[in-house]
Amino acid sequence: MDRMSTSTIYRFSFGPWNISEGGDPFGPEVRSAYDHEAKYALFKPMGFDGVQFHDDDVVPGMDDLSPEQISRKAGEVKGMLGNQGLFAEFVAPRLWFAPQTVDGGYTSNSASDRQYALDRTLKTVDIAREVGAPAVVLWLAREGSYIRESKNAKLAYERILETINKVLDYDKAIEIWIEPKPNEPTDQAYVPTIGHAIALAYASSDPKRVKGLIESAHAMLAGLDASDEMAFALAHDKLGSVHLNDQNGLKYDQDKNFGSANLRAAFNQVRVLEESGYGSKGEFIGLDVKAMRTQQGSPVTAHLTSSRELFLHLVEKVRTYDREIERQCVEARDYEALELYVLKHLMGVG
């Protein structure tokens, strides 16, 4: 944890999938696998207190296990987290690997596949409860279409809302954080932006418990500014978490190091989070960054520590940003002067 000059103490988190073997669709894995369970010992020394989980990160092979077996394994993970001084931030159902989710889960055209997706999500809620996580994250990976005519989009949105309500009803304390993404792996994803997610929240049976998780790269892939997306969620008190990273234009989801493609956009994300007091109620600064395929060794963790370090440098930039200069420029409507000030401040000159 890092105590900065003002009150917010930022806590950082990431998920075990961020430590990877470096495979991509064009080539094999380039690093030897690092033992899944051993990853948790890396968090604290790297300056991270929170763990983001997929349900089967907690309970591998969960589809073949009984509720008692799932509960036992999740209890073991809870004990391990306690021993390491770590917190479970959220658990997300991995609804994009199983044969039942080839064409989506909640929005599949198959009733039995939709039932699988709901059952799996409720098991995820059980796991979240066991490990002490306050939320489940819905990254709606395959809830979308490859060709428009294959699904009824209106019905699909109704089905997503119906599922959200069933989860809220199943556990009266759990929160649902929707992580919007506009594409990949589907061509067109349902719930592509935070606006869609928040509309679903208000339409749900318990709006207070439905929030968003904003990933910088996902917002950029939708052609949007990540800091504005965050501000929108914050204005509704609905920013459950963030996945800070970066993206170099409209390509595949790159998950680049935070600030590595657009430092100014990263500065503005930190500025919006700081100005709103994000983190003061225990919200985590989550990272979703991919190791470069070229990086050698195992485990590779520099992308995580670099992104964390960059975030903290940007916090300093936000805290030393001269609000009086900003006020004067805004009052005079001299945005040229404001822009030059921002750029020079980021460069550390003038």
Q: Tell me which residues are annotated as active site.
A: 54, 57
- Which one of ligand XUL, Mn ion, none interacts with residue 57, CB within 5 to 8 A by kind? none
**Which entry of ligand XUL, Mn ion, none binds 181, CB below 5 to 8 A by partner kind?**
ligand XUL
* Cα separations in angstroms, 230 against 12, 305, 310: 17, 23, 19
**Which residue has the CB atom at the shortest distance from ligand XUL?**
139
The partner in contact with residue 175, picked from Mn ion, ligand XUL, none with C-beta cut-offs of 5 to 8 angstroms by kind, is none
Q: Which residues pair with residue 37 across a beta bridge?
A: none
Alpha helix stretches (DSSP H) within the chain:
40-43, 55-58, 67-84, 111-131, 153-170, 194-203, 216-221, 226-235, 263-276, 302-319, 323-331, 335-347
Cβ atoms of 60 and 103 within 8 Å: the answer is: no
Which single residue is written with the structure tokens 């989070």?
273
Q: What is the closest distance, in whole angstroms, from the C-beta atom of residue 19 to ligand XUL in the complex? A: 13
288 binds ligand XUL (CB under 6 A): yes
Binding-site member from 57, 113, 215, 283 for ligand XUL (CB under 6 A) = 215
DSSP one-letter string for 315-346: HHHHHTS-HHHHHHHHHTT-HHHHHHHHHHHH
Task: Give the one entry of ligand XUL, Mn ion, none that residue 271 binds, where binding means its C-beta sits below a cut-off of 5 to 8 angstroms depending on kind.
Answer: none
Give the number of residues in contact with Mn ion, rule: CB under 5 A. Answer: 3
Shortest spacing between CB 194 and ligand XUL, in angstroms? 14
Q: In whole angstroms, give the CA distance from residue 38 to residue 57.
A: 12
CA-CA distance, 296 to 341, in Å (whole number)? 39
Instruction: Out of 57, 215, 246, 283, name the contact with Mn ion by CB under 5 A.
Output: 215
Position among 181, 271, 308, 317 found at the interface with ligand XUL (CB under 6 A):
181
Find the distance separating the first CA and the last CA of the chain, reported in whole Å.
31
CB-nearer residue toward ligand XUL: 211 or 317: 211
Q: Do 193 and 229 meet the contact criterion of CB atoms below 8 Å apart?
A: yes
Say whether 269 sits in a helix, a strand or coil: helix
Per partner kind, with CB cut-offs from 5 to 8 A, the member of ligand XUL, Mn ion, none near residue 92 is ligand XUL
143 binds, among ligand XUL, Mn ion, none (CB under 5 to 8 A by kind): none
Closer residue to ligand XUL, CB minimum distance, 55 or 103 = 55
2 forms beta bridges with: 10
Each residue 54-93 as x (binds ligand XUL by CB under 6 A) or -, in order, gives: --------------------------------------x-
Distance of CA 183 to the CA centre of its chain: 15
CB of 58 to Mn ion, least distance (A): 17
Which residues share a beta bridge with 243? Answer: 215
Pick between residue 96 and residue 321 the one whose CB is nearest to ligand XUL.
96
How far is CA 278 from its chain centroid?
Answer: 15
The verdict on 317 binding ligand XUL (CB under 6 A) reads no
Return the residues of window 79-98 that contact Mn ion according to CB under 5 A: none
Annotate each residue in 263-292 with x if it binds Mn ion (CB under 5 A) or - if it does not, as one string.
Answer: -------------------------x----
Buried (b) or exposed (e) across 302-329, using 16+ Cβ within 10 A? ebbbbbbebbbebbebbeebeeeeeeeb
Q: Which of 57, 253, 274, 283 binds ligand XUL (CB under 6 A)?
A: 253
Q: Binding segment for Mn ion among 51-59, 63-71, 220-228, 238-246 (CB under 5 A)?
A: 238-246
Q: Which residues bind Mn ion (CB under 5 A)?
A: 215, 243, 288
Q: Interface with ligand XUL by CB under 6 A: which residues?
A: 92, 139, 179, 181, 215, 243, 253, 288
